[in-house]
Every structure is written in structure tokens, then in C-alpha cells.
Structure 1
């Protein structure tokens, strides 16, 4: 067999002789593999994957891969892996999100749980007791990937970020044009943003019919974090275990949100309770959303012609951080499975991390920027309208860790108390701080903000 370069997406699928030997998903594993030399090139930079070997000594073996979405890029990668190793079957088991996090921990307690499974960092405490450390040196992971350091635990990595996501401003191109705006009017600072939002607002007979900017719903509790970071204010105090919400920066930013509605009148608390739906219905010109918005618009509002630009900053100077980010995690390996299954799982994981296509597919399908350093200038990434906006900011995005949900739910309650219940800003913010303190009193969470490379620039 001629040697082939595995450079295109799942190019191993094109090797017909191997495809003919594929197990086809048999629960007992595929056909015995006696061909160690696959005729394929080694993948990867520092982390490398050499496909020219036998896996499980060529004997048939079947693994399960549990996940909550059929668009999980690891599923296609599993198919590609099976094409190289006809004795291996990796069976996807797809379950709804809520069921997944109920069934997975129970399954992992015994020795018959899935060998490999999808991870979300919000469930870190739940699954950490069942994870096996990656059989890849930490320094190799650091050489090939950004965002590894926050995931190092006692010198090992159990999962890391394959891609990262953050917020941007989505705008309706038709409404933008109707307002006489062009790309030259895309705002860089928050003051410029306010001016643009006013131009995009339509009020008829004293009634708001088109919002220039709408933050109703989940927006404030996500956006306030980024705005605080922009001004050098951390989400947690020095001990890393206490929320830092009641502070002058939070008060200042909350006043900014209130003024957008009550002073500038670019939106209203009474203009529906769902800014995503309002944008999709063409009633709102600008919203702040994360990468999930792309799929939301494609699936529910395909007629909306939208653009994306970077979230404004207080000034045109580079801030402490542009925003918070969160990562989509690489798979976990079940430490309670058999030695044979764990060995194949570790090999499959190395295949994922060495192969650029895993990160590219994850990035494009989730509107999230790959952490793999070799993809920083990849044309497929930079041609994407969302990822091209994130690209210049990647180094200045901060991850505080999988913090308790009260940090967001209490902040959401604060803005609702201010807008709907008439509470003073300082009162609502203090009450939110008290709720966070109470809710976190029994938590063992410790912020990872100190792992941010520009941490010393914080206030």
C-alpha cells in the first residue's frame, strides 16, 4: 500500500482496503487485525500518533463512547479510528443531557461503564473520581495546546479544552443597513456602542418597536463578567473561594445596563423576556451571545442575515481581559474499565489530540476557537465569521474555572430586582453578593483566575 498523508478530514476513510475490514459497529469488536504496517504517516507535532501498529495485539475489542450530542466530533473520529484498526469497535451511546449526567456517574462506579465519554467542565466534581490521567506528558500537551495549565491536577491532566468559546455581538445586517450604518460604524468602545444602539432603535408613538440592543433573558449574568474583567476586576477574591460581586466596578457596569434602557431607551425590560427570540424575529438589532447562537439561528431563524463583531471595551486600549471563556472538553477515560479497554481508550485519545481534524471539526461545529496551536492561522478557522472575531483575542480571554451556578443566577436576580422590582442598584448587588456567599459556603471551588498569563495586571 502506498504511504498516504492524513491531512484532510478523516482521509483514512478513503483507504478502501481498510474500509473493507471495518467492523461496522459490531458489539463484539471487528475482525482480527494482523497488519501492523498500515502504510500511513505519523500524525501530530509534539503529541504524535503512529498508526502503524497493532492495537490490543490485533484481537477484536469493543468500547463504548458516551456523549449527549450526535454532532460530537469524537464520533466521526471514532469511525476514522475503526477504519485504521478493523479489530476495534467504538460504539457511540447518545443520551439527552439530563439523563447523561444521571446515568454516567452510576455507570462509572462499576467496571462495566463506558471506556471513553464526553466531558463538560461544569460536572468536574461529579466525574473526577472516575477519571484516569492521560498517558501523555503534561509538557507535550502544553507544547501543542493552549489552556492546559488550569487543568493540571497534581502533575497530571485528566481532560483539557479542545476548543474555547466566548461572547460576541450579533447584529442584524438588514436593520443595520436600514439605519444607514456600514462596517465602518462597527463600535470598538462601549460609548460608541451606545451611539450605534440609539441609531438602531425605532420608537413609534411612544412605543418601542425595534430595540437597538436587547439584554433580556440570560445576557446580563454572562456579560457583566466580561465587562468586569475588562476593567481588571476579578470574579473572585484573593482566596479564590469567595465571589467578588459587590464592588464599585459591578455597580458602575450595572448602572450602564440600566441607563441603556431607562436613559438611552435602546431597549426595554418589557420588550419580551427572550433577547434571542427577539433577535430571531427581527425585532432587535444587536444582542450579546456566545457560540451556541450560530446553531440557534441556523435551526430556528434561518432567514436572519446576521453579522458578528467583537464585544466592545471601555477604551481602545488592550484591557486586562476581553471576556471570560469556557471550553469544550476533550474526552475522559474510565479508570474502572479493564486494562485492555483503557489501553485502547488512551490510544484513541492520542489519535484525537494528534489529529488537527478533531479540533477543526469541533471548532467549526461549535463556533468555538481551537486551542491547538497549529491551527491559530488555519484558513478554515479564520474564514469562519465567529472564529475570525475571536482569533485576535484568544490570549486575552480568561477562565475562572467551573464556578458554582450561583455566580450567574444571583447576578440575574440582581438585574431583575433592579429593573422589575425597583430596587436600588447597590441594594440589589449587595443582596446578590449575600446569596453567592451563602450558596458557596459549602463549596470546595477555588478560582483558576491566577493561572491566567496576565493575572498580575489585575487591580
Structure 2
């Protein structure tokens, strides 16, 4: 699913639909709470939350929380249960809305007075919810101290409407069984692309000239993600200096497209004819290595539980520290409805402080979403780092860059260029030129502004 494409379609839909909101009443079904002293410890580091108080003066109140996720996928559900245990007068009712409907129904609901007080956010759909979302009632300096990526979500006034709870980026997933059969050990895990090629060749099998096992496979949607990381490794930005135009047709993209083509055509570690879905190929044990993000852990657990896999950090072109190892994206904390009543907003803001100060929220998010904690105090936590995905990301987290909620064309047009070169025989020069032209057309009326300049090592780009 292309999240940004869905969001773009939703923007058009919202503009022509009339408003019809679901209700979110102020009167809750809980009991009156008269016990301010809960006997609980203050939680948190810089952002602190003292649970020993009355919420809504102890009077019953009911809020809604909208999400496309469900319990076991969205960590907010678990925190709602914990919050309600502490404050029996508060009822937060989860409302599940299918993703395909969410970005149409949510903005309409938020425009009125009866929309959900709390709602799940995906940063790719920022423009749909920003007009209605309230600023967090939390000191920005405290957010920056506790959450390593908070600053990229600050507006010109230094306020945020959501931040990252956890972040994800690309890594190399490898089949441990095939790795062992090839005589490889942990000592063979590559750190450079040259080393990677040699390992991939050992993991590739052919029979009578026909490939039966790919050493590395990026067929399908993988290119649109991996090319961004490769460009960043060489110091090439995804967008122009003013942050408004895509930067795709350049020497670095050409060089990296040739590198990927050489993996198939020169080094013979994979093939464009070896299936069109790298995930399925890996899950079926036909491909030894793939490049994928944290969600792959959940996919393998759900669809291919028998695959014994490991994860290692994506190689770089040299042993030197690159400009950035890769792009990252964050899973967002909930938004607060700025059009709800003062009472509803006050409880919603209290809930936000509760989860941001509470380490349990980040632990649940990291486990359920296979993503790395944005909370600084948990970035070296032993339990979290026992997950191989987390362990691979930990040494690199400071050198990951977020370009902002990039327009969908950056991925879709990039994928089209890949298909034109690998499947249609088009020259790399022509494919890149066509993709750049499409990106320019698609972004002509966009108000997108890149966040690359907020990257700590921005001045090192080429």
C-alpha cells in the first residue's frame, strides 16, 4: 500500500464531501473519582507525569480515539487500558476505521464539534489533520530532550502536533538456513557493498543457467526505498536546496541505478525474472537476502513463520561514516482535536503527557511495530536491543535522515524508472529524465517543504 497516494486521494475526496461526524460525548460512563492520591510514582525523565491527581475534577467523561490500527498493532490501545485503570471516571472509546476510509472520514469529523478527542496520525497525511490538530501542551525543550527526533516536527513557532514514538529504516534480512548451507558465519556479515557482493554470490544458485536461488532480490517495491538510502550514503539530498523540488535526475542516482543493475547483470546475484515480489520470494526460501524495513518482521511472523532469519545493517560504499546511512520514517504519537470542548481537550492533553512520560508506551510500540525507540532513554535498553532489528539500527540512529512527508511521486516515479530500466530496456539517462519530469509535474502545486535541512549533519552533504 502506498500511504502517501491514499492520502493524496483523500484530500480530493474531503474537498467535495459534506460534513457528517460521529459523536463524542462529554459525559462518561465511569464512576466519579474522589481519590487524587493514587499512591503511584512520578514517571518520566525530562517530561514527567505525576498520576496523583484528578482528571476532569473526577467527574465522568468519555472520549473517542480513532485509529486504523487494532489492539496488538496500535500501542495506544494498551495505554488507554492503563490510563483508565488509574482514572476510573475516564472512558476512552477506541473507534476502528479502515485505512481506506480513515483519511476521508477523519478530517470531516475533526472539522465539526463532535469529532474524536484523540486520533491516530500518519505523518504522510499531515496536511489533512494539521488544520484541526491542537498543539501539544508540553514544553518543546523537554520533548527535544526526551525524544531524539522531536525537533523535525516543530513548526515555525516551536510547537508540535505530534512527534515520533518509534522510527524505522531499511536493513538487510537474511535467511539463516541458506547462509549456513553456503558455509557462511557471523564473521561473514558484510559492512561494505563490495563485501556484500561476494557474500551474495556465494548465496546464489543456478541450475543449467537458470537461477534457482537469488543471493539478493529487490524486485517489486524495494527500489523506491533503497535508492533513497544509497543516495543519502553518498551525500546526495532527496530534494533541492530550497526543499521544494525533487532531486532525482543526477549523477548519484545514475551511479546507484547502475550499481543495482550490475548486481543482477554483472555479478549475477539476482534477476529481474526471479519473481516480482521480493517479500514472497524471501518468505518462500527462494531468496537469501533482501532489503526491507521494520514492518518485514511482522510480515514474516504472520505469513512466513517458518523462516529462520537474521538482520544486519545495510552496507555502505566505504568503511568511512557516510553522510547518512539511510532515510527513516517515524510512527506518530496521537493527535489532539483542537475543535473539541475544553474538557475533552484537557483530558486528551493529560493522556498525551501520560504516554510520552511512560516508558511502557515506547516498549509496546517498539515490539508491536518492529521499530526503534525515538525516546533517548530507551535507545540502549537491553531488552529492546535483544530484537535483531533494533540491534542493527542502534549504532546508526544518529545518522538517519528524515526528508519530511515526501510526496508519493518520489516513490512511484522512482519505481517507474526502475521498471523502465530493468524490465523495458530503457537507458538509465532517459529513465531518470522521465522520472524527474514526472516528479516536477506532480509537485508543481505541492506545498511540500523538505525537512532535510534539520538533519544534524546537513552541512556535510555534497
Q: TM-score, normalised by structure 2?
A: 0.93
Which of 133, 136, 155 is the aligned partner of 1:134?
136
- How much has 1:28 moved relative to structure 2? 3.1
Unaligned runs of 5+ residues in structure 2 are 1-25
In 2, Cα distance between equivalents of 1:99 and 1:145: 31
Q: Which residue of 1 aligns with 2:364?
A: 361
Question: What are the Cα deviations for residues 419-456 of structure 1, in whole angstroms up to 9, with x where unaligned?
Answer: 11110111101111111011100100010000000001
Q: Which residue of 2 aligns with 1:73?
A: 75
Unaligned runs of 5+ residues in structure 1 are 1-25
Q: Which residue of 2 aligns with 1:314?
A: 317
SS in 2 for 1:156: coil
Verify: 1:125 aligned to 2:90, yes or no: no
Q: TM-score, normalised by structure 1?
A: 0.94
RMSD: 1.0
In 2, Cα distance between equivalents of 1:339 and 1:60: 15
Which of 152, 155, 164 is the aligned partner of 2:154?
152
Give the conservation status (yes or no) of the 8 Å contact 1:27–1:91: no
In 1, Cα distance between equivalents of 2:111 and 2:281: 45
Q: Which residue of 1 aligns with 2:308?
A: 305
Q: Which residue of 1 aligns with 2:201?
A: 198
Give the conservation status (yes or no) of the 8 Å contact 1:219–1:288: yes
Q: Which residue of 2 aligns with 1:434?
A: 437
Which of 251, 262, 281 is the aligned partner of 2:254?
251
- How much has 1:29 moved relative to structure 2? 2.7
Q: Would you say how many aligned residue pairs link Structure 1 and Structure 2? A: 434
Q: Which residue of 1 aligns with 2:10?
A: none
Q: Which runs of 4+ in 1 moved over 6 A?
A: none
Which of 211, 215, 230 is the aligned partner of 1:212?
215
Q: Which residue of 2 aligns with 1:109?
A: 111
In 2, Cα distance between equivalents of 1:275 and 1:383: 26
Give the conservation status (yes or no) of the 8 Å contact 1:30–1:87: yes
Which of 433, 444, 447 is the aligned partner of 2:447?
444
SS in 2 for 1:240: coil
Q: Which residue of 1 aligns with 2:279?
A: 276
Q: Which residue of 1 aligns with 2:59?
A: 59
Verify: 1:36 aligned to 2:36, yes or no: yes
Q: Which residue of 2 aligns with 1:181?
A: 184
In 1, Cα distance between equivalents of 2:27 and 2:346: 18
- How much has 1:27 moved relative to structure 2? 8.0
Question: What are the Cα deviations for residues 25-83 of structure 1, in whole angstroms up to 9, with x where unaligned?
Answer: x9833000011111111111111111111110100000001111112111110110001
In 2, Cα distance between equivalents of 1:272 and 1:336: 49
